[in-house]
């Protein structure tokens, strides 16, 4: 979010204190945040808090500095606006076009993407008036970041808790991204597979799925309709991405045939086990003190199966190599009918479970782009830039 200009509206609900934490996170990620508070919001949190966090003035009144017409200037300078929390009152005013304070007047004058994060008592949220106003806003292109179910400040449980900070930031990141993949269907496989040989034991590998999860998040931010086919991992898939959980290579194959065939872009970053134990015991195998050996049989080749059915899908594979990278990867590219292959050097375990990775993208007969060494988010963005370039070419 480096240098992104964000307008944050804060209205008068209990969750206003969470807007302060969100502001801090956005500033730490490099955003320049202008805050407008309603009069009611000032009763919950002091403007001083936001001014300190943003190192910028906080705007509270329509009538301050009129020579600079703040309600117009603020929305012209921002790339996206977000109301966190949005009270039932602000939601109603926005739907009806009532402009009686700085926040509602500025948003009425806005031509930028606007997200609204309602937070209120569940009865207020479910009230037909609130629901009708939210439907109106949605129809007009506002993004409504639905509240979550859980503990509400009045001690009740219900739907009305402000969306998690992660979801708020995800929506904002999406609004700030150019929608270069809008209307495109993208399928991504990620993570390891687990091949069991008794009810509690399995053979697997060191993949965490971080690369595929980063790719899914970035594709979603660019407006794609994303399906993530995810092997067993403790990492949490990004909100807003359709995630299909699988365990074994056979399940991964089923999911891929169902969700990736016919996609505009399919990226296979999963580390699918090449072999699975040939025997499976229904009972937990007992320790006997003797040596034990397992024999293996080949798993289905998920990527090759996708390659055979690829049609118009732009298909990108991954190759984790420990030597002779380019030659091995190019051979895989041809054999599995891929359009491109991202190669990473996994000597010494690099790339698996670490925050950083280094990738080289090979395509066609001799196309080669070094995507460099970077954190997985940055590499995901570079990889998608390269893929989008291929899609246009
Ligand atoms: C203690 C307290 C907590 C409130 N919490 C909320 C809330 O979470 N959501 C909401 O929509 N309204 C809440 N209200 C009501 C709003 O503050 C009230 O509707 C106010 O007019 C909102 O003004 P604004 O939308 O201009 O900020 C609360 C009121 C009080 C006194």
Q: Under a CB-based contact definition with an 8 Å cutoff, are residues 162 and 120 in contact?
A: no
What separation in Å is there between the alpha carbon of 57 and the centre of ligand 1? 24
What's the CA-to-centroid distance between 13 and ligand 1, angstroms?
Answer: 4
User: Average of pLDDT values for 257-271?
Assistant: 96
Q: Are residues 298 and 196 in the same domain?
A: yes
> Is residue 212 within 8 Å of 377, Cβ to Cβ?
no
Enclosing domain of residue 342: 185-275+294-392
Residue 43 Cα to ligand 1 middle (Å): 10
What atom of ligand 1 comes closest to residue 87's alpha carbon?
Answer: 11
Q: In this structure, is residue 285 part of a structural domain?
A: no
The answer to whether position 247 is within a domain reads yes
Whether pTM exceeds 0.85: no
Task: Give the pLDDT score at 26.
Answer: 98
Same-domain status, 371 and 245 = yes
Query: Residue 221 domain-assigned?
Result: yes
Pair (216, 270) in one structural domain: yes
Domain end (from 153, 176, 199): 176
DSSP secondary structure of 123-176: HHHHSHHHHHHHHHHHHTTPEE---EEEE-TTS-EEEEEPPPHHHHHHHHHHHH
Q: Whose CA is nearest to atom 7 of ligand 1?
A: 13
Q: Whose CA is nearest to atom 4 of ligand 1?
A: 13
What's the CATH code of the domain at 153?
Answer: 3.40.50.1950
Same domain? 95 vs 239? no
CB atoms within 10 A of CB 294: 12
Q: Which two tokens stand for residue 342?
A: 């991202």
Residues with a CB atom less than 6 Å from ligand 1: 11-15, 38, 40-41, 87-90, 119-120, 124
Helix (H) or strand (E) holding 51: helix 47-54
The pLDDT of residue 152 is 81
pLDDT of residue 349: 55
Residue 130 belongs to a domain:
yes
pLDDT confidence tier of residue 223, bands split at 50, 70 and 90: very high
Q: 176, 208, 226: which is the final residue of a domain?
A: 176
Q: Looking at the structure, do residues 125 and 207 belong to the same domain, yes or no?
A: no
Rounded mean pLDDT, 368-391: 92
| Pair (130, 198) in one structural domain | no
Task: Express each pLDDT in 55-95 by its tens digit.
Answer: 999 999 988 877 778 888 899 999 999 999 999 999 999 99
Q: Count up the domains in the chain and report the number.
A: 2
Q: Let me know if residue 322 belongs to a domain.
A: yes
Beta pairing, strands 340-345 & 356-363: antiparallel
Residue nearest to atom 13 of ligand 1 (CA): 13
Q: How far is the CA of 46 from the centre of ligand 1 (A)?
A: 15
Asked if 59 and 79 sit in the same domain, the reply is yes
Q: Which residues are catalytic?
A: 205
In a domain, 257, yes or no: yes
Nearest CA to ligand 1 atom 17: 12
Give yes or no: residues 216 and 301 share one domain: yes
My answer on whether 78 and 28 are in the same domain is yes
Residue 303 has pLDDT above 90, yes or no: yes
Domain boundary among 176, 197, 212: 176
């Amino acid at each position: 979010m480096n240098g992104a200009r964000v307008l944050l509206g804060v209205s008068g609900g209990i969750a206003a204190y969470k807007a302060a934490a969100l502001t801090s996170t956005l500033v730490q990620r490099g955003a320049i945040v202008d805050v407008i508070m309603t009069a009611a919001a000032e009763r919950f949190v002091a403007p001083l808090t936001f001014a300190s966090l943003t190192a910028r003035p906080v705007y509270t009144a329509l009538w301050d500095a009129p020579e600079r017409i703040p309600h117009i200037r603020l929305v012209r300078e921002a790339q996206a606006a977000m109301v966190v929390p949005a009270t039932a009152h602000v939601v109603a005013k926005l739907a009806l076009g009532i402009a009686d304070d700085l926040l509602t007047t500025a948003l009425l004058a806005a031509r930028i993407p606007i997200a609204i994060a309602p937070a209120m008592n569940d009865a207020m949220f479910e009230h037909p008036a609130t629901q009708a106003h939210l439907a109106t806003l949605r129809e007009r292109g506002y993004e409504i970041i639905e509240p979550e179910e859980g503990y509400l400040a009045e001690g009740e449980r219900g739907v009305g808790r402000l969306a998690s900070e992660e979801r708020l930031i995800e929506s904002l990141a999406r609004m700030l991204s150019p929608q270069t993949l809008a209307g495109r269907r993208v399928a991504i496989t990620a993570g390891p597979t687990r091949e069991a040989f008794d009810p509690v034991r399995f053979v697997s590998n060191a993949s965490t799925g971080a690369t595929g999860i980063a790719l899914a998040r970035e594709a979603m931010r660019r407006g794609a309709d994303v399906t993530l086919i995810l092997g067993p991992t403790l990492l949490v898939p990004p909100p807003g991405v359709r995630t299909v959980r699988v365990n074994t290579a056979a399940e991964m194959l089923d999911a891929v045939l169902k969700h990736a065939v016919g996609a505009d872009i399919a990226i296979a970053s999963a580390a699918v086990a090449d072999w699975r134990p040939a025997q499976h015991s229904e009972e937990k195998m007992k320790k006997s003190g003797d040596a034990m050996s397992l024999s293996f049989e080949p798993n289905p080749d998920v990527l090759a199966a996708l390659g055979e059915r690829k049609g118009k899908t732009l298909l990108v594979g991954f190759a984790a190599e420990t030597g002779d990278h380019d030659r091995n990867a190019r051979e895989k590219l041809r054999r599995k009918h891929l359009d491109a292959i991202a190669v990473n050097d996994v000597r010494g375990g690099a790339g698996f479970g670490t925050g950083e990775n280094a990738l080289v993208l090979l395509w066609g007969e001799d196309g080669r782009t070094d995507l460099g060494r970077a954190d997985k988010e940055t590499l995901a963005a570079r990889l998608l830039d390269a893929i989008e370039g291929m899609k246009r070419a």
